[in-house]
Amino acid sequence: SDTTTLPSTDSLRERALASLRRVGVTVPEGADLTARTPITGETLLGLKATTRDEAGEAVAAAAAAFRTWRTTPPPARGALVRCLGELLRRHQDDLADLITVEAGKIRSEALGEVQEMIDICDFAVGLSRQLYGRTIASERVGHRLAETWHPLGVVGVISAFNFPAAVWSWNTTVALVCGDTVVWKPSELTPLISLACHGLVERAAEEVGAPAGVHRLVLGDRTVGEALVDDSRVALVSATGSTRMGREVGPRVAARFGRALLELGGNNASVVTPSADLDLATHAVVFAAAGTAGQRCTTLRRLIAHRNVADELIGRLTAAYRRLPIGDPFHEGTLVGPLISTGAYDILRQALGRAEADGGELLVGGGRVLADAAPHAAYAEPALVRMPEQTPIVREETFAPILYVLTYDTLDEAIALHNDVPQGLSSSIFTRDQREAERFLAADGSDCGIANVNIGTSGAEIGGAFGGEKATGGGRESGSDAWRAYMRRATNTINYGDTLTLAQNVRFLG
Ligand code: NAD
């Protein structure tokens, strides 16, 4: 077979159901939510969605479980996550299958997404013994000043289709060891992988004797998400998705003084300087721009190349783009799978139209392939467009594989172009000049939450904090000290002397 022979919807349905059976999940069949596959664009099954009332009940159950979970010693909470990690290892293939069926990721990326979930479990288990506070020098004799981190409450996790499982695991494993309980509202486009993940947490909870309410799943569209957003029992809403969604969610959560952690869209760029290793840069750029069919929040969308290397780089990229195998994501040789929907392909075409109207030159790609074999699916050729300047369409996130190429003369100009977009997620520079690399990473360099040297913009490790600035929302998840967002801080002043001393030498009675 070749990459362009697509599996049938029936075989994909069988594959998904077999994975769910092995994971131990029964699908709540119904008519109000549709599981579909972007591989053929056709329906797999109908599911029952969660009503607003049921979402409220899920929050109530999570709030009840929180009352015992918050005083469970953190290493015991870690035991739940360790058990989940073991189940994820055991079911890595099953979960990867579901990710490929529902999100269309190629096999290696789907396995990678599950690996990322396993990795964050390991991280969170270690973290369960490292929820450190500080001891602070007190200005008063016989006093000690300290801070303690306490569990926050119910965390509402709202996630996007493109990382249907990993984003949930970053939030959930860290929240659980922090003593929080979780209600998850996954993307309406990926209900099956969500059912599998939830099923594994339930199994883990049963195995270690954790309360069942530590994790609840609610299925449905944004109205179910809104139920979490507006519920004052949800202490933190961690929402991943488009900037449009964040603009709605952020103020609504703030209006009730809840906490929001927002992980929104990106418009990521790489700067390629004259000293760059062009072999390495080409390889990195193709993965970052065309990988995952351009549907990562960290996908490379803008390439800012020095005028002296732009033509050479474009030549190499055009050649590489022409060779990209597009098609069945289950096929070993495929590098570019389907877009999530035909609607996403329409958005790609509209963006290319606007870019060309702005004077952009389409160098390669932009066509649709396999339209006869799968009329309801959308397989797009990744596009490369040379732009005369950074026009409004370049400053928008189009969630499809379009890479705009811009040129620059001085590094200051490149950095100014780089930062002149609303989003601030990921960035990188390709250079062998240490001064340029350091300048890019400095306070007046890239304004993004992620800034890399000699690698692309996508494919972060879980050990670092993940997230971005400006219209990307400002949130940080995953590694480093991102756990603090899932806890509340108490400052403690302890007087172990016999007299009352007031701070700042204030005198009052005595
Ligand atoms: P989306 O915004 O359409 O949906 C994301 C989630 O939010 C879904 O579960 C959806 O049901 C829910 N939602 C939408 N509107 C809502 C509202 N008003 N109230 C409550 N919930 C609401 O995004 P998508 O198309 O699924 O995903 C693609 C987007 O996600 C891209 O913009 C991408 O950059 C972004 N993303 C960001 C990150 C990150 O970490 N920064 C990671 C993955 C994806």
Ligand 1 site, residue 221, Cβ cutoff 6 A:
yes
Q: Is 178 designated active site?
A: no
- Residue 263 CB–ligand 1 contact under 6 Å: yes
pLDDT, mean of residues 155-166: 98
Burial class (CB within 10 angstroms; exposed 0-12, middle 13-18, buried 19+) of 114: buried
* DSSP 8-state class, residue 245: H
CB of residue 223 inside a 6 A radius of ligand 1: no
Q: Torsion angle, CA of 109/113/115/116, rounded to 10 degrees?
A: 130
pLDDT tens figures, 22-48: 999 999 999 999 999 999 999 999 999
**pLDDT band at residue 327, thresholds of 50, 70 and 90?**
very high
pLDDT reported for residue 1: 64
Q: Which of 297, 381, 448, 477 is catalytic?
A: 297
Q: From the centroid of its chain, how far is CA 207?
A: 29
| Whether residue 286 has pLDDT greater than 70 | yes
In this prediction, residue 100 has a pLDDT band, given cuts at 50, 70 and 90, of: very high
Q: Which 8-state DSSP code applies to residue 326?
A: B
Q: Which residues contact 486 (CB under 8 A, 6 or more apart)?
A: 152, 155, 171, 174, 175, 178, 180, 236
Alpha-carbon distances of 278 from 178, 190, 274, 283, 317, rounded to whole Å: 44, 38, 9, 8, 10
Residues 6+ apart with CB under 8 A from 122: 85
pLDDT in tens, 372-405: 999 999 999 999 999 999 999 999 999 999 999 9
135-136 and 143-151 beta bridge pairing: antiparallel
What confidence category does residue 2 fall into, taking pLDDT thresholds of 50, 70 and 90? confident
Distance (Å, rounded) from C-alpha 54 to C-alpha 455?
45
Residue 352 pLDDT greater than 70, yes or no: yes
461-469 average pLDDT score = 97
**Complex prediction ipTM:** 0.98
332 has pLDDT over 90:
yes
Q: What separation in Å is there between the alpha carbon of 37 and the centre of ligand 1? A: 18
Name the closest-CA residue to atom 8, ligand 1. Answer: 187
Indicate which atom in ligand 1 lies nearest the CA of residue 473.
41
- Kindly state if the Cβ of 188 falls inside 6 Å of ligand 1: yes
Asked if 263 is an active-site residue, the reply is yes
Does 412 have pLDDT greater than 70? yes
Q: Measured between alpha carbons, how far is 312 from 308 in angstroms, rounded to an integer?
A: 8
Helix or strand (DSSP H, E) at 19: helix 9-23
**Does the pLDDT at position 272 exceed 70?**
yes
Confirm or reject: Cβ of 265 under 6 Å from ligand 1. Answer: yes
Mutating to test ligand 1, I would choose from 247, 297, 462 the residue with most ligand atoms within 8 A of its C-beta, which is 297
For tokens 């809403």, name the residue.
237
Question: Is residue 115 a contact partner of residue 470, using CB atoms and an 8 Å limit?
Answer: no
From its phi and psi, is residue 327 left (phi > 0), alpha (psi between -120 and 50) or beta? left
pLDDT band at 137 (very low <50, low <70, confident <90, very high): very high
> What is the mean pLDDT of the segment spanning 253-265?
98
Q: What is the pLDDT of residue 293?
A: 98
The reported pLDDT for the residue numbered 4 is 87
Paired with 403 in beta bridges are: 384
Mean pLDDT over all residues of the chain? 97
Give the pLDDT mean for 60-66.
98
Q: For the chain, give the percent of residues with pLDDT over 90.
A: 99
Over residues 344-371, the mean pLDDT reads: 98
State how far the Cα of 378 lies from the Cα of 317, in Å rounded to an integer: 23
What is the C-alpha separation between 402 and 350, in angstroms, rounded?
A: 11
Distance of CA 409 to the CA centre of its chain: 34
Residue 3 reports pLDDT greater than 90:
no
What is the mean pLDDT of the segment spanning 484-498? 98
Q: Which of 170, 242, 249 to mutate to test the pocket of ligand 1 (most atoms within 8 A of CB)?
A: 242
* pLDDT band with cut points at 50, 70 and 90 for residue 348: very high
Query: Taking 80 as the threshold, does the pLDDT of residue 414 lie above it?
Result: yes
Of the residues 113, 202, 263, 477, which is catalytic? 263
Distance, in Å, from the CA atom of 218 to the CA atom of 225, rounded to the nearest integer, reads 9
Q: What is the DSSP string of 296-313?
A: STT-EEEEEEEHHHHHHH
